[in-house]
Amino acid sequence: MILSRLWPVFLLALAALSPRPAGAAESAPVTSARDVATLVTDTDRYRPGVPLHVGLRLRLQPGWHTYWINPGDAGEAPTLDVRGESGATGRSGAIAWPVPERLRDGPLMSYAYTGDVLLPAELRPVAAAGAGDGAMVLKATADWLVCAAVCVPEHGVFTLSLPTGDPAPSAEAPLFARAAAGLPTASPFAATIAPDGTLALSGEGLSPDTVRDAWFMPVTSGAIDQDAAQALSVHDGGLTLALKPGDAFHSAATLDGVVVLKDAGGQTRGLSVSARPGTVAAMPAAPGAGVAGLGRILLLAFAGGLVLNLMPCVFPVLVMKAMALTRLAGGRASARLAGAGAYTAGVVGAFAALGGIILAVRAAGDVAGWGFQFQSAAFVAAICWLLFAVALNLLGVFGMGNGIASLGGAGTVRAGYLGDAMTGVLAVLVATPCTAPFMGAAIAGALSAPAPVAMLVFVAMGAGLAAPYLVLAGVPGLARHLPRPGPWMDILRQGLAFPVLGTCVWLLWVLALQAGAGAVAVLGTGLVLVGLAAWLTGLAQAMAMRDAPARRIRLCRAVALAALGIVLALLPGLGQPVTGGDGGANGGGPPP
């Protein structure tokens, strides 16, 4: 009775210990806690001159992944080298890469494989001189990176022997059939890449009914910002994907990669594309959509400018205007409207100037995007130093006149209007990285529209940003509800310095993330020098009020100017465009 129950177990154990069948073509495994790697072939025999397929098979544990030819923002692509020896010789070609998954982890996007993965390649055996009909020994080396919470590099050396004979499918042949089904197919559609990064496909079979979603994965790392959204527009006979160019993007070069199309049923297919540089035709407009479409874009731009007032980048500038507004109660309406008009002119003029620069760069065939000035480390540092000086002024370290950050309470009327206008310029300069809701579609429309329409969009954004202050200054009833000036203003002024300092911390973080520790050290040095200049300026102002000797006052001012001169001398060293950094790419950072 007991033997009858144990007999099936004995047979299973015997089968497991018996040699592999002749139809199996898989090497001994290289095993770790993360995966099992083997070398496999699609046939169990070989014939000289007849190509066969070899492949690195990775059976990954749950939660682990390896990478595509372009790993994305982090990682490293696997390598495989297979050589034939003895009865025949040969060397494998390049890996045929199946379409990968997109794995996102925070700001990082990677292209990867999970589960049971086969990376195939082709090998054509050549009969070795004097070898007769001997077996061919395949020797392979492979390197790959597997990642989960950490990344671990792995290496394998494999050996597999194939006898001569008529090739027949091996037990691993279905793995190759599955990998072949996952390869991208040649695209039947014409592909064009515009200088601004817009990828267009055109041809029969593309329509809103057949394409519900699409995304692009470049073969070259850094060609696009892989984490950026890819806005899709589909019409009968074509589609466009709005890609964000990366550091390796060249507007005059072909862009190779894979476009994945998803249909209404959720099925996907990968198309291998080689997009040629060119212009992308505007999407066909619906009947009567000309004026209505422009009105919608302008409305979105105006709404985006309104919402931009709530963004943290703009808040320090609005603090300055709020301090000025507390002095409007009881003032003349003409003075209020003139100051608000100057501020509005500064905002709208700065928006128009930035829009003009972007359009000029676009016309020259280069690539620029909204907030492009924040790609300059020198600009980020200069804005941080300026806002730090504003915070010190709010704290009372020194008195600031009616310049770019004037609070509007000192100097002549003319200087006050100039201060209002320059405050509007400052608001725009620090506002652009905080792309508010509704602004994405408006900016995309502006960058793809004719120049006159694009300028209208930028002006509408400026009008939206300036509108709240303009309304508040122009309606006397609202101004009368503002609190009366008093001692509380000094306390409020000092308290409002801390949001400005918080913005300085944000700018420091931006610089650290994009330009590294060296740029942060330069920025910190500049902050110390700006603080020294502010303190010496305040000291000179205090001594002037006490009628101190002019020699001491001039000495303080001279040292303050020298400190500011050193600060300006630091800028050329930060003048290079800020790069995205490798962010730990190629295995050096946190994996996605």
pLDDT at 383 over 50: yes
How large is the average pLDDT for residues 265-294? 71
pLDDT tens by residue, 340-380: 788 888 888 888 887 787 677 656 544 444 455 555 677 77
In the predicted structure, residue 293 carries a pLDDT above the cut 90: no
Q: Which of 404 and 52 is assigned the larger pLDDT? A: 52
Cβ distance 63 to 34 under 8 Å? no
* CA distances from residue 586 to 75, 97, 98, 497 in whole angstroms, order as listed: 5, 18, 20, 42
pTM: 0.49
Neighbours of 33 (CB within 10 A): 7
Mean pLDDT value of segment 109-124: 94
With a pLDDT cut of 70, the percent of the chain lying above it is: 72
- Mean pLDDT over 201-215 rounds to 90
Question: How many Cα neighbours within 13 Å face the side chain of 546?
Answer: 10
Residue 182 has pLDDT above 90, yes or no: yes
Name which residue leads in pLDDT, 374 or 266.
266
CA trace torsion 7, 12, 16, 18 (10° rounding): 50
Candidate from 26-30, 96-100, 310-314, 555-559 with smallest mean pLDDT? 310-314
Whole-angstrom CA distances from 100 to 220, 261, 400 are 14, 13, 57
Q: Yes or no: say if 32 and 110 are a contact pair by the CB < 8 Å rule.
A: no
Range of lowest pLDDT (49-58, 369-378, 525-534): 369-378
Range in 23-27, 199-203, 533-537 the model is least confident about: 23-27
Q: Looking at the predicted structure, is the pLDDT value of residue 490 above 90?
A: no
> What's the confidence (pLDDT) of residue 562?
93
H or E element in which residue 36 lies: strand 35-41
Model confidence at 288, pLDDT cuts 50, 70, 90, reads: very low
Query: Residue 363 class from Cβ within 10 Å (0-12 exposed, 13-18 middle, 19+ buried)?
Result: exposed
- Rounded distance between C-alpha atoms, residue 488 and residue 495, angstroms: 11
Least confidently predicted of 366-375, 516-525, 570-579: 366-375
Encoded tokens for 266:
């959720």
Split at pLDDT 50, 70, 90, the class of 592 is very low
> What domains are there in the chain, each with its CATH number?
20-183 (2.60.40.1250), 186-277 (2.60.40), 289-484+494-574 (no CATH)
Q: What is the pLDDT of residue 375?
A: 55
The dihedral built from the CA positions of residue 365, 370, 374 and 379, taken in this order, carries a sign that is positive
Distances in Å between the alpha carbon of 570 and those of 124, 362, 518, 577, 581? 60, 30, 12, 15, 21
